[in-house]
Amino acid sequence: MHRSLLLLSLLSLLLGGCATTTLRGTGDLGLIIERADGSVLIVESTHQQTLARIEGLGDLSHASVVYSRDERYAYVFGRDGALTKVDMLGHKIVGRVMQSGNSIGGAISQDGRLVAVANYEPGGVKVFDADTLELLADIPAAYGDGKFSKVVGLEDTTDNRFAFSLYDAGEIWVMDLRDARNPVIEKFRNIGRQPYDALVSMDGRHYIAGLFGEDGLALLDLWRPERGVQRILDNYGRGEQPLPVYKMPHLEGWALSEEHAYLPAIGRHEVLIVDRHNWKEAGRVAVHGQPVFAMARPDGRQLWVNFAHPHNDTVQVIDTVTHQVIATLKPGKAVLHMEFTPRGEHIWLSARDDNRVDIYDTRTLQHLGSLPVRNPSGIFFTARAHRIGL
């Protein structure tokens, strides 16, 4: 009898302990980059609050983030070549590797097993096991006579493939990693001068690379790669002198609605509109400055645009039905990045020089609140885990 009572007491204690354990999901979490301090904030969008600060991530001056498919882990790509794995629930670094001398971002495979990193130095792509950060493949971006190119616009697509561009070589490569230790690479040459960034459509079909060295973009249909690369918006700046470019536009952000793609024009105060049925120009929207990000709300109804210096205190909202600017906002100094909550009811904006992140209601366009953040840049919510090309 004494033993039975002891066992019951122990069981009661265990069950009592389980009852007090706080469990939470990951679907409303995100990371904010504190670019000057080498740190990140773990935030929660439901109650618009900061949960933790994690330090020791190195140079985050051009950092980006992808997530494991369960949203538990974030992979942070630092400019100094570091790949850092962060536990979103444990609030700690669980893996870190210095994989190059200068990195410009990365992507995670469709099945979540592989993390690929784009490198400026020495030039190429490295592929890591998502669980262990073991190096599985090293693909130098070699071209010409022993030269190596900076790699930009690295995007995940379907069937565990990645597409990326060679800035110096003017090429697009598609890398099949179904056998991660033996990559199969298809190369498309002479796609245009100096591809600087790229996006992949939401279905993983189209890869679009912007060109810095000439007016136009390069389009590759990943379902029909035998057709080669198609030039779109060729010579869109014809007859006009381009303005000095103070910050390169970013294409990754899914500026796509059902019918149109919206792309920032280099050296111009315009957002270009492309008909997605034939990939021809369908119009332009005059905006406040040189656009950096043109990001579509998840439902595609609005486009939010931020700008390069000296207009980087401003954000404009475009209605994608009328193609009219419906609001001009002044959130703060140096708005570097924007991120919609998963269903798009709110948008978070980083105001780097004001050391805060502002939150707006996308329906009313009203300011809802702010979070203090040290020199914020990129904002990345965990919902990205379930989207191709982010």
Residue range 285-318, pLDDT digits in tens? 999 999 999 999 999 999 999 999 999 999 999 9
Q: For domain 249-390, give the CATH superfamily.
A: YVTN repeat-like/Quinoprotein amine dehydrogenase (2.130.10.10)
Average pLDDT, integer, range 241-247: 62
Burial annotation 256-279 (CB, 10 A radius, 16+ → b, else e): bbeebbbbbbbbbbbbbbbeeeeb
If one compares 61 and 240, the residue with the highest pLDDT of the two is 61
Alpha-carbon Rg for the chain, nearest whole angstrom, is 22
Element (H, E) at 19: helix 2-20
State the pLDDT confidence band at 7, using cuts at 50, 70 and 90.
Answer: low
| Among 337, 345, 300, residue whose Cα is nearest residue 60 | 337
- Which amino acid does the sequence have at 206? H
Q: Please determine, for residue 277, whether its predicted confidence score (pLDDT) is greater than 50.
A: yes
Smallest CA-to-CA distance from 320 within 349, 345, 351, 297 is with: 297
Backbone torsions φ then ψ of 324, nearest 5 degrees: -110, 145
Q: Which pLDDT score is estimated for 239?
A: 54
Does residue 252 have a pLDDT over 80? no
The pLDDT value given to residue 19: 46
**pLDDT of res. 66:** 98
Q: Where does the pLDDT of residue 250 fall: very low under 50, low under 70, confident under 90, or very high at 90 and above?
A: confident
pLDDT over 90, % of the chain: 82
Domain ranges of the chain: 50-235, 249-390
User: Is residue 338 over pLDDT 60?
Assistant: yes
Contact 108, 75 (CB under 8 A): yes
Domain 50-235 in CATH 2.140.10.20: yes
pTM for this prediction: 0.92
Question: Which tokens in the block code for residue 68?
Answer: 């494991």
Strand ranges (E), 289-366: 291-296, 302-307, 315-319, 324-329, 335-340, 346-351, 356-361
Across 332-352, average pLDDT = 96
- For position 242, what pLDDT does the model report? 63
What was the pLDDT predicted at 266?
85
**Residue 135 dihedral angles phi and psi, to the nearest 5°:** -70, 125
How many Å apart are CA 213 and CA 210, to the nearest integer? 9
pLDDT digits (tens, 9 = 90+) for 200-218: 998 999 999 999 988 899 9
CA–CA–CA angle 35, 352, 253 (5° rounding):
80
32 forms beta bridges with 41, 379
Residue 241 has pLDDT above 90, yes or no: no
Q: What is the rounded CA–CA span in Å between residue 33 and residue 373?
A: 9
Task: Give pLDDT, residue 256.
Answer: 79
Look at phi and psi of residue 334 and say left if phi exceeds 0, alpha if psi is from -120 to 50, else beta: left
At 191, the amino acid letter reads: I
More confident residue, 48 or 244: 48
Q: What is the largest CA-CA distance in the chain?
A: 96
Give the integer Cα–Cα distance in Å for 141 and 185.
11
Q: pLDDT averaged over the chain? A: 91
Backbone angles phi, psi at 352, to 5 degrees: -55, -50
User: Which of these, 107, 125, 117, lies nearest to 199 by C-alpha position?
Assistant: 107
Reference 352, options 330, 334, 338; nearest CA is 334
Q: Determine the Cα–Cα distance for residues 133 and 379; give it in Å rounded to an integer.
A: 23
Of the chain, the percentage scoring pLDDT greater than 70 comes to: 91
pLDDT digits (tens, 9 = 90+) for 27-59: 999 999 999 999 999 999 999 999 999 999 999
pLDDT-based confidence at 136, cuts 50/70/90? Answer: very high
Residue 251: pLDDT band with limits 50, 70, 90: confident
Cα angle 296, 298, 303 (rounded to 5 degrees) comes to 20
